[in-house]
Structures are given as C-alpha cells and as structure tokens.
Structure 1
C-alpha cells in the first residue's frame, strides 16, 4: 500500500495538545529538596547541630554562632557537590534519549522519541526499539521480540494491520506504522509504575566503601561514649563532657569518603561524555580501569563499515569480475540475483551497495514491475535469506543470498564444483573481502515450503565486499597491548576474511581461530582453555558469543565487549562493560550496553580505560589522604585525655570543624581534578579480586597518619616541656597539623613519582585550595579576633619554625620511600612521556 504523507506541523501540535507527549512520566522529587533532605540526615550535620545546641545552652554564644555558620557552609558544600553530580547525570540522560524516524509533511525525518504524537507515521527497522504503540501499514520481513511485555523471548512475525507496542525490539525487517498511543497511554506506560520500584544494586566498590564508613561510624560511637564517660567522671558536667565526646566523634567520622565517591563517579561520567563516551550508569566508571580483555566485533569497529562491492564471481562462466566491471551478462546475473535477495528498502551497507551497483549498471531496471509476494527472513547457522517477487504477468524471481556455506548446502553441487567455489571463497576472503553466496530457484504454484533450504536452488555465484581497516586501528591495538589488555575478535564473518583484516590491522595472535559451531560443541573445561589461547572467533552466533564472555568471566577476567547488532545484545548485557556503537549500533545493542561510543571509534575505549584508571587511582589517593589525616586528628584529641596529659582537651569542635572544612574540598575537588600519571597506561589491569585498598596501601596510610601524630604530639610535649600555656600549645599543635596536611596533599599526589615531579602537574584547584588553607591558618592565628575565638596565641619565630618543620618532616619521609620504590628495577621506560 502507499505510505501516507504523515502529519503536518499543525496536526502535530494539535495531536500533542489532545494526547500528550510520548514520555513515560515518573514520580521525580525536586532535586534541591532531595539534596537538602540528604544533607540534613548526614551524621556530620547532626553532630554539628548537637554541638551548636550545647554551646548555646552553655552560654558560649560565639561558638554556637560559629557552629551555625559551619552548618550552613558544610550544607552548602554538600548541596553544591550534589548539584554537580546531578547536573552531570542529567547531561548524560539527555544524550541517552532515543530518537525515532517519522514521516511528516511527506518527508522522512528523525525526531526525539519523546516528540512522537498520536497519528504520526513512524518507521521501525531491524535493531531498533518501537518508540510508541502503532498499527502496521506496511511491513518488510518484520519480526519483533515482545518479551518486555510478555516475558517470552522469541520473535513474533508482524504484517499489515498488526499492532506494535512501545519498547519492544525489532528483530528483523522494517515497517511503517501509524501511531495509536503515546506516553502513559501505551501498553508499556500502563505497567510503567512497576519499573519505578526497581533499584539499581550497589557496585562492589560502593559496598566496600559503605562497609568501611559504617565500621568507622561504629568505632566512633564507641569511642565517643568512652570519652564522654571519662570526661564526665572527671568533671561531673554532662553537657561539657558531651561536647568533648562530640569533638572526637566528628574527628572519627569519615563522611568525606562517600561524598568523594559520588563526586568522582558522576564527574568521571561527565568527563567521558565530553570525550564522546556516554556512560549509562556511573558505576561503570569504576570498572573501566580494571578491564583486562576487550572483545571487539570486526565490521564497523575494526573496519570502516563502508562495504564497497569489490568483486563478483560468476559460477556459469567461472570468471571473477573486479573494479566495477559489472556489465557482462554473467556478472549482471550474479549482481541482480544478490539485489533481488536484498530488502526492497535497504538499510544494511552491503544491500545498499548492491542496489547502487544494480542501478548504475543494469540494462533495464526491473524493480518497478515486480513486488514481493513471499519472504524467508535471515536465519539458520550460518545464515541465509530468500525473497520471492512476482510481476503482473505472473513471472517470478526467487533469489537467495547468505554465507557461502549455507548457499552451497542448498544447491547440492557436485563435489568438484563445490570445491572450486570454496577455493574462490578462500581466495576472495584472503584479500580481506566479505563474501556472500547467491542462488536462484524456481517453484510451481504457491505452496512454499516451510524452510527456505527446501527450495530447489541453483548456484549463481559470489559477491565480495571490501571494508578496509580504520586508519588508526593499529595504534589502538598497540595501546591496549601496552596497557596489558588482551584483545579478541568476535565476528559473524568467515575465518579467512577475518584473519586477513586482522593482519592488515596489526592484530596480534591471529594464527588460530575458532568458529561458533566449534565453541558450541565444547565442554566448559575445554572452552576455558580455548578462550585463553585463541584470539579470533568467527561465524559467531548469540549463544556462542555469550559462552565466550561467560568463559572469560569464569577465568576472573574483567570483560569489555563491543557490539552493534541485535545478536550482540545478550553478550553485551553479560559483559562487565558492554560497549555499543552510537552511529551504526542498533537500539537493542545500546539498551543492553553500559557504554555508547558516539562516533563508533574504538580508540575512544583507550581513552575510557585511561579515564577509568585515572578516576580509580585518584579516588584511592583521596581516600588514603582522608585516612592519613584523620588518624592524627583522632589521636591528638584522644591520647592526651586517655593518658592524663596536662592539657587533655587540646582541640574543641570548632577546631575539628575547621579541619573538616579544609579536608573536604581537598579530597573531593582537588584529587578529582588530578591528571593521569604517565605510567598509568603502562601498568597491567588490576585483578578482579583486588579489594579497593589492599593491606599494603592501608598500612601506608596508617603509617602516614601515625607519623603525623608523632609530629603533632611531639610538638605538644615540646610545648609542655618549655612551660608554654595551653593556648600557645594548642596553636603549635594546630600549625603542625596544618603544615602536615599541606605537604600530605602534595606527597599523596603520587605514590611512585617524586613531589618535585608531580608539582608540574596542571591542577589549578590544588594551588587554590592549598593557598586558601595557608591564608586561613595565618588569619586564625595572627588576627586577634579570630585567634581569641579559636583560643590561639601567636607563637614566636623559633617555635613556629619547629612546628612547621615537624609537620613537614612527619610527611616528607614518604619521598624517600618512593625513591626506593623507583629504584628497585620498577622504573618506567625512558621514552614514555607524561600524559597530563
């Protein structure tokens, strides 16, 4: 039937007013309200409120006002960080919204899926999702998977008059449909409420961090009660004892860690988006850096996906035709057969090339006189497809194309002829061509067999397409190899073609190959060994791809998988990192994947892995910094009290809060902005079994914290030994701690490279935060009103230098440890340059 011209612009507006937009509405809370609610329920916020109330009850108004100011500032920082994360995620969602093809004003155009209205004529095709409910006006080889509604995952054939439902997946063919329902009126929209109840499970790293913070909170609660009890025993004053206990609780609670994690993941996803990599879930960011195997398809990922018709082999004449020489009758017979076996409205690059070549060289275009009367969709292993056309005079054309093995199996050639055809297949495939077999058939009557393979086919010839490797693919493979990441090719193409293209692309380990049938016949143990040794897998089908991914996962590999087609969906979903192509990728592939490369460039995965490693490394630095600086705060608050020293309560809540306000931006803003270290992409991927902080790293942070504690308490004892009053002692201890904090921030920028080297890293936020820390410290020590409030006393030059020196020495020893590490034979190749 004739396709309608679709709605006019005025009709679109009218329909939108009458029936609404094509969006599934969900109950979304105001982001600001949500951020405020999360902030006021945080433990640190509650501790600040409690301390402020106690100060006011005790009549210490200035301290109470300071706590109120601290509450406002801490809340503002939390809400700002939350808004940065939310804005980054909203930007990702905006890019993730699907588009749809419609006919409007008689012209086909692409619009956002949400803009479809009731009455629109929409076009759906293989690999896409149905964007709205609709009735089929015309269909070519159309089948859909309706499991999202029915739970039954099999293809359902659709023809003219049938209904399609929003969210279902188009398995094959294409269709024009009139939209009958949009948004919440669709079948999917009616059951959409249940989708809101689904919660995303926390990642392993999130669970580790949550567990650590919970344990620290429990420890903090226990020590808080102990300190409260000891102070109450000595003073008998409940509120003052409670205030001193709260001081310790504030020092122990590492509330910066979950904030840092959220900030790093969200901003990491945003940075990837800026690079053309859409991350559908921020948890994927943490996994990127640990990818140990990348399984890539061939067409469009390794190759250009141009599919130029490169050669024809005519079986009747035994000749091969090249370079566009499709004019001879024998070549025309092969070309026309391949064209008739293609879709009437081609969207596959090979079929587009066949139609174009036929249009350019056919003596007479017979397509207008014939219409399709029967079709067999692409199917079988290996696959083939058959179309039946007829004209008004009753003449019929029955044409098939597919994998040469599948076509030869249907044609029943004598073995000598079949061997000659296979030799031609290997010769063409050895040049890197993708080869298809074509055949014709005849049939009397309309009793078509159930299977296309039952038709009496006669072999016509071969069509060969050349899809050259991308210009940068050699460098991409080398980057993966340098990073210790294995690369495997998983493709539906045949072995000779794939091996040839792999060699042209600089792929390593292409001497062996396994087919999908061989994979399917293997037992688990044999498959586990095979996936370690073999790097090329050909003639693959969905279940075989899935078996390879699962075998690699069973070997404790972190698997990234690229794909673009319907058949890639299960493997993309099963991989730790599913990667879909933004241009040629089907909606089914994009829905199953966790990453989308907007320009189909595999080199972006090198950038993504580097970003993942950088984020993971910087997050570890931030958390190690938090642990190292928290230890001296905790011990400086606790030990003088527990050991009965002369000044048992050297710090009060106002001092701890000042330190917290410095530490928060340092870990979540400064370290997030750190550049990647030059050796990051020269290291092997981290093992899947590795915990976030191993014992060596944890011990390093603990040792750093204890050394800083030694410096602060050493200055404490120095001040007491010299008879300094409490205010001056407090000042010197505080200056020691702040000096150590500044140097710790610089030293922990790298646990391998020297501080003198990392100072060249470009991080303006670092300079700003450290300068602000120094200026604030000078202000609260030397500006009289501030010094009086914090109970500080400006020190003389000699004790000041001793305090600063003790703070520096308590951290800078780490440089010696790093020097030893660099000189143990673990140096980076001299030709490697920093990536800043």
Structure 2
C-alpha cells in the first residue's frame, strides 16, 4: 500500500503473533458479542412451545381429557401445530439470516505476524492491531497507534456532529466510524466491555424499527385479555352451577373458552415475517431488523444517494483537460496524489488506474478527502502543494474555470479541479486552477425501472448527493425523475427545519449536500409526517441512514454504512427495493386480513358466553352452552385456521396504510356481534321446542358456519381465481361435515330436521344482510370524514 511504511512503526507493523492470539483466545479475551439478528435454535424452540396460548390450551385439554370425551380435545392439536409451524419457519429464517450475516459482515483488517488480513469481528482479541480508513467502523474500543489525518465521527455515540481528529495515544470508541484519513489502533476493550455494547444495554441508544403492526397486535391482544377474564369467569360459573352433569358442564365451559383465544394470530404474524426474510434472502437482501420489512412498505419518501445507488460505484477517467499551459503534466500530479492517499476513494482509484506512476514525487503531508470538505490534497516539497476537489468549492463563483466545469457537469459527468494550493491553515488557501478532471459514472441498468415503480406507487424520490447539483440533475433527468430539471444546490438551503421542509417538498434533486445536511433533511421530512427511507453506500450517508425510518445500505458500501442500516442489499441491486416493498405489503395486508378473522371469532365467542351466562346470574335457569369443544374446533379449522394460513402467505400488493387496529376492529366487531346474535337466536328458537340438544347445537352451528364463511369471503375480497377457489373449498368441506355419516357421528351433528335447518339458514341470511349493511355504513362514514381524519387513518 503506498505510503504504508511512513505510517506504521515497527511494533505496529508486526501486530500480535499467532501464539499471542491463541493465548488471548484461551483466556476468553475475545470480542464475543452475540449477533443482533438471530437467536439460538433452543431459544426458538422454547419461544414457540412455552407460550401463554399453549399453556391455556394445555390446561383446557387436560380438563377435557379428564371427562373421557377425547374428540372434544381436538383443539389440543393446535398446540402441536402452532409450535411445529413456528419452529420450522423460524429455523428456516435463522439459517437464511445467519448465511447472509456472514456474507454481509463487517470484517475489520488486523495485523498479525506482520501481515494484514480481514477477520470476522468475533475473532478480534485484546491487543490486536486494527487498521482503519475512511468508511471503516471502529468495532472495538482502542488506543490510536498511528494516524494520517485521521478523523472519526462519534455522533452515533455522543451526539456531537463534528468529526474528531485523532492522534496517537488517544482513545477511539466502538460504534464510531472514520470519515477521513487512515490509521491503526490497539484493541483495549472487546466484547461486552466495549463502549457501544454497554451503551446499547444501558441506555438503549440503538433502537428497533418502529412497527405499527407489532404495536397494533399488542394492543388488540391486551384488549382481548381484559375481555376474556370476565367472559371466561361467567362461562365457568354458568356451566358449573347449572343442572348439567359435571362432564357436560366442563365440555360447555371449555367450548366457551377455546374460541375466545385468537390462538393463531401471533403465530401467523411470526410466520409471515419469517417467510418474508427467507424470500428476500433469496434475493441477497439482508434484513437486520424484521419490522424494517413492514417499515419500507409504509414509506412515502425515498431519499437516494446518487453514487452507488442510481449510478455504479466504480468510475472511469474520461478526460484530463488542462487549463492554460501548466508547467507540469497534470497526469503526473494526479498519479502522485493517488499514490499519496493510503485509502483512496472511488475517484482516486479511477485516476490511479489510468495514470502512469510519478517517480520522485514524495508526499510530506496528506489531507485525505472528506465529504464535508469536498477536496483532498498533499504537499510534495519542491513540487509544491496540490489539491483535488469540487470546482464549485475551490473556485470563486465568477471564474471561467468554474463555469466550464458546470457546463461539463451538466452532461451528468463528475468534474474535479486539480490546482496548486496556496498556504493556509486547515484550508487549501488560494487555488490556482491547473486542469479539470472528468470522470464517467455508469447509470445502473435497473435505476429507471425502480424509480418508475416508486412513481406508480405514489412514493416520492429525493436524490440527495454530495456531487455538483447540475451533474446530479443531469443523471436524474436521464432517469426521467420528475423535478430533475431544477436541481438545488444544498448550500443555498435554509437551516431552519420548517423552511427546509418546505424546500424539500418542492424539489426532487439536491447537490453539494453535506452529511449533516442529509441528516437534517431526513428529520425535516419526518417533521411533515413522512415515513422516510434513506439509501446509500458511503460514509457520508451514515448519519442519515441511522435517523431515517428505514435505512437501506448497499453491500459494497462502507462497513459503517452497513452496520447502521436495517436492510442491506448484498448484491448492490437498487431494483431489489420494490421486492422488499412487496414483501412488506404482503405481510401487512395479509396479517390485517387474518386478524379480522381471528378477532371476529373472539367477538362472537365472548358475546355468546355473555348471552348464555347472564340469565343464570340474575336467577333464571342456565342455558347449556350451544356448542361442544369439537364444534368450535371444526369452525376454527374451516373458517379461520386453514384459510388464514393460506391468506397470510399469499401475494398482496395493496399499498400499506396506517390505522391497522381501527380497520380490523371495524370489520371484526360488527361481524362478531351479528354472528353471536344470529347463532344464539337460531339456538333459542330450536332449543325452546326441541328435546334433543344435538339438534339445537347443530342448528346454531349451521348458522355460525354460514356467517363465518361469509366473513371469510368478505376478507378475501377482491377476488382472484385462487381466493374464490379457497372460499369455495371451505364452503364445500364445511357442507360435507353435515352430510357425510362418519363426520356427523364423530362430531355429533344432526341436521335431519328440515325446519330447524331452514331456521338456521334464515338466521344466517338475516346476519349476512346485517354484515353487509354494517360495512356499507362504515364505508360511508369513512368517506364523509374530513381529509385530516382520513389522513390520520392512513388516507383510505
């Protein structure tokens, strides 16, 4: 590596020996920080087996088995099914995540036995010598041993936005990252002793992506829990205090309690997320935090960096255009500058590849490139001081050379200025222009298609780049981005957050944006109620990625960028984002569907328990509960369980929207009340004139099945061929349950009385009318609400 000998001392160059590393490993002095993504296999098994719902069902199953009616304990199969399905899907997701984490892992460079090599972060040991350069993350705490203009950003840990210049002997902390320069540090604290790990554990500095779906389900389950306690207690009292035999009373009690529990909702939510992880893993997309899949589906603004996102990260030197008649060949100076930087960026790499070596040019001091400065430079003794950077930063506004650079940049090319620098502390001083360096960037083949997709979906795209605004605008124009004709130079933007938000709403392309401005832009958009995704690959994107609702990093990006992002596109394909959005929409839309099914069952079960139980409390004869446990089991199978599992994994391109809990309850509560009332009406009409409890139960069951299947049909809308087939199959199977002699005998069904069956169908027909009427009224109320209320509920 050029300039390496001048940077490292002999002790630093050697690093630890193999024997010293082995000694520290044996002593447990390693960086044993657990993965933040994947939990262990035993934890997965335990989390899926030892659940509150399994415990409830286990107790109820023991009660039923004690009565000797084994078929009434069929619901116990849900314990096995829930556990097995959850374990299998989570293990699949774990394998996918573990494989992708290894591929996308930040691998620090250490020196051992005088040789530099990359190692997994878990293999670092105390006293390891770690080399760093621009874009690298500080993975463990340490002491700086060597530094060449080393600047470290500690804002993710301390909140201070300005980079800190580090000198030998000073401390660096894990969780910070290098923004400029290069150096080496000795690991002093590893594993759980390091600063970032302690901060994460004690102060919660690093938080999970916010998930409306997760919060909504938690809220629903909390409400259900509060309702279950009195309804369950009433059912127990009613069934055990009546004149029934104890086994029959216990069966009625269990039949009342089992359907109140939305047993599959949490399972199917976990399965939907896990399947999403596996599907995206097949596209080389690493999801560091599962709710990020949901978050990206809710995004309405995407802030995209130009370099590495819309364009390829690699560049090619297209032209070196001398300005006047320089006394030294610009190509020679460029080669010397490229050789002087120990960690060259993409521009210097392209220059080095096209430039011949420059013998005799030895750099005395080097100022590496940083996104905040927009230039780099070096002093070459008798050859003078030279700078390479943005023409609009190094030159005055009225200069002819700057105007020429703007003209070239308008074609979408990157233009740098090579100039002689005058003496000045911490700045290039007066710059004498020598040449314009023109670099070409290839636009990604998939960029236009991806931007078109977001435009169709109503997602605004803001191109935010550190490059010249005119050049960025030219690239965006090529891709057909609306608003690309009027690019904005970020140096003219106001600092006031409110005014900045207004500027961002009205423009789409911004150039010369500093890292701090990118962060401020994300915050300004969020202040206007937008859900913001930030994509990037460079160290200048780290702060904005951290603050965005969803941070998306390219796999070839800097280690610091990948470490703070929730989603990493390991194949660097910008076109993968629509698939991530699609997975998020599938998860959100399908869980909303199945949540409506499960909660409808909970509502009508609680209502039935109250209707049956209240008369017994006020002195009337207790009415036996209409159903046996085997009845509620088959209702759950064919109107909820099987169809919900299919619906939860099906394609769903509906745009994500807020108000998850409200929409679920608007479907489930009216439908549940109607089903409970209709089924009890049919039960009472038959029970009052029948001597056979089986016929009364069968009549109520027909009503429940018919209405529950209708709700399934409502939830499955809009229909596709497979949805229509799914509903038809459930209707057919449910009908056969009442026709096939074996199933009638096993499930104690007797639909032989035609009058009773007509009563059930009449009650079901009335219930269907009421369900559709409630949906029509609810839809009309939503349409009549003010715009602000509609927006609060997600705009639909």
TM bucket normalised to smaller: 0.7 to 0.9
Secondary structure in structure 2 of the residue aligned to 1:142: strand
Secondary structure in structure 2 of the residue aligned to 1:22: coil
Q: Which residue number in structure 2 is paired with residue 336 of structure 1?
A: 332
**Aligned residues of 1:739 and 1:807 also touching (Cα < 8 A):** yes
Residues 202 and 110 of structure 1: is their aligned pair in 2 closer, same or farther, counting only changes over 3 Å? Answer: same
Give matches, 1:465-544, under 5 Å. 465-519=439-493, 521-544=494-517
- 1:462 Cα shift? 1.4
Query: In structure 2, what is the Cα distance between the partners aligned to 1:109 and 1:775?
Result: 68
Q: Is structure 2 residue 392 aligned with structure 1 residue 405?
A: yes
Query: In structure 1, what is the Cα distance between the partners aligned to 2:157 and 2:485?
Result: 45
Give matches, 1:252-267, under 5 Å. 252-267=260-275
- 1:587 Cα shift? 2.2
Query: In structure 1, what is the Cα distance between the partners aligned to 2:547 and 2:351?
Result: 35
Q: Is structure 2 residue 682 aligned with structure 1 residue 691?
A: no
Secondary structure in structure 1 of the residue aligned to 2:317: strand
Q: Which one of the candidate residues 117, 130, 134 is aligned to 1:126?
A: 134
Give matches, 1:619-698, under 5 Å. 619-636=591-608, 638-639=610-611, 648-657=624-633, 659-660=635-636, 665-666=641-642, 669-677=645-653, 680=654, 686=657, 690-694=658-662, 698=665
Give matches, 1:169-208, under 5 Å. 169-176=177-184, 183=191, 194=202, 200=208, 203-208=211-216
Q: Which residue number in structure 2 is paired with residue 85 of structure 1?
A: 90
Residues 815 and 92 of structure 1: is their aligned pair in 2 closer, same or farther, counting only changes over 3 Å? Answer: farther
Larger mean Cα displacement after TM superposition, 255-264 or 555-564: 255-264
**Aligned residues of 1:25 and 1:184 also touching (Cα < 8 A):** no
**Aligned residues of 2:601 and 2:672 also touching (Cα < 8 A):** yes
Q: Which residue number in structure 1 is paired with residue 313 of structure 2?
A: 305
- 1:620 Cα shift? 0.8
Give matches, 1:386-465, under 5 Å. 386-390=377-381, 395-409=382-396, 419-441=399-421, 449-454=424-429, 456-465=430-439
Unaligned runs of 5+ in 2: 784-796
- 1:769 Cα shift? 9.6
Q: Which residue number in structure 1 is paired with residue 69 of structure 2?
A: 62
Report the TM-score, using the length of structure 1 for normalisation. 0.78
- 1:595 Cα shift? 1.6
Secondary structure in structure 2 of the residue aligned to 1:130: coil
Q: Is structure 2 residue 362 aligned with structure 1 residue 371?
A: yes
Q: Is structure 2 residue 739 aligned with structure 1 residue 748?
A: no
**Aligned residues of 2:200 and 2:206 also touching (Cα < 8 A):** no
Superposition RMSD in Å = 4.5
Q: Which one of the candidate residues 595, 599, 604 is aligned to 2:571?
A: 599
**Aligned residues of 2:108 and 2:118 also touching (Cα < 8 A):** yes
**Aligned residues of 1:407 and 1:438 also touching (Cα < 8 A):** no
Query: In structure 2, what is the Cα distance between the partners aligned to 1:274 and 1:195?
Result: 35
Residues 809 and 564 of structure 1: is their aligned pair in 2 closer, same or farther, counting only changes over 3 Å? Answer: farther
Query: In structure 2, what is the Cα distance between the partners aligned to 1:191 and 1:314?
Result: 52
- 1:217 Cα shift? 1.9
**Aligned residues of 1:259 and 1:668 also touching (Cα < 8 A):** no
**Aligned residues of 1:755 and 1:815 also touching (Cα < 8 A):** no
Query: In structure 1, what is the Cα distance between the partners aligned to 2:555 and 2:180?
Result: 19
Q: Which residue number in structure 2 is paired with residue 412 of structure 1?
A: none
Residues 563 and 799 of structure 1: is their aligned pair in 2 closer, same or farther, counting only changes over 3 Å? Answer: same
Residues 292 and 13 of structure 1: is their aligned pair in 2 closer, same or farther, counting only changes over 3 Å? Answer: same
Residues 137 and 333 of structure 1: is their aligned pair in 2 closer, same or farther, counting only changes over 3 Å? Answer: farther
- 1:442 Cα shift? 6.5
Q: Is structure 2 residue 355 aligned with structure 1 residue 355?
A: no
Unaligned runs of 5+ in 1: 318-328, 360-364, 410-414, 444-448, 761-765, 827-836
**Aligned residues of 2:639 and 2:705 also touching (Cα < 8 A):** no
Residues 281 and 625 of structure 1: is their aligned pair in 2 closer, same or farther, counting only changes over 3 Å? Answer: same
Query: In structure 1, what is the Cα distance between the partners aligned to 2:768 and 2:699?
Result: 17
Query: In structure 1, what is the Cα distance between the partners aligned to 2:425 and 2:523?
Result: 35
Q: Deviations over 1:402-461 (max 9, x none)?
A: 11122225xxxxx9xx53212211211111111111212466xxxxx532234x542212
Q: Which residue number in structure 2 is paired with residue 555 of structure 1?
A: 528
- 1:124 Cα shift? 2.0
Q: Which residue number in structure 2 is paired with residue 274 of structure 1?
A: 282
Q: How many residues align?
A: 762
Q: Which one of the candidate residues 579, 583, 604 is aligned to 2:552?
A: 579
- 1:804 Cα shift? 8.4
Q: Which residue number in structure 1 is paired with residue 229 of structure 2?
A: 221
- 1:77 Cα shift? 1.6
Query: In structure 2, what is the Cα distance between the partners aligned to 1:288 and 1:743?
Result: 33
**Aligned residues of 1:54 and 1:239 also touching (Cα < 8 A):** no
**Aligned residues of 2:135 and 2:177 also touching (Cα < 8 A):** yes
**Aligned residues of 1:263 and 1:668 also touching (Cα < 8 A):** no
Query: In structure 1, what is the Cα distance between the partners aligned to 2:319 and 2:280?
Result: 41
- 1:635 Cα shift? 4.3
Q: Which residue number in structure 2 is paired with residue 22 of structure 1?
A: 31
Secondary structure in structure 2 of the residue aligned to 1:627: helix
Query: In structure 2, what is the Cα distance between the partners aligned to 1:148 and 1:511?
Result: 35
Secondary structure in structure 1 of the residue aligned to 2:399: helix
Q: Which has the higher contact order (CA 8 A, sep 6+)?
A: 2
Query: In structure 2, what is the Cα distance between the partners aligned to 1:76 and 1:675?
Result: 23
Residues 185 and 290 of structure 1: is their aligned pair in 2 closer, same or farther, counting only changes over 3 Å? Answer: closer
Secondary structure in structure 1 of the residue aligned to 2:363: strand
Q: Which one of the candidate residues 288, 291, 307 is aligned to 2:296?
A: 288
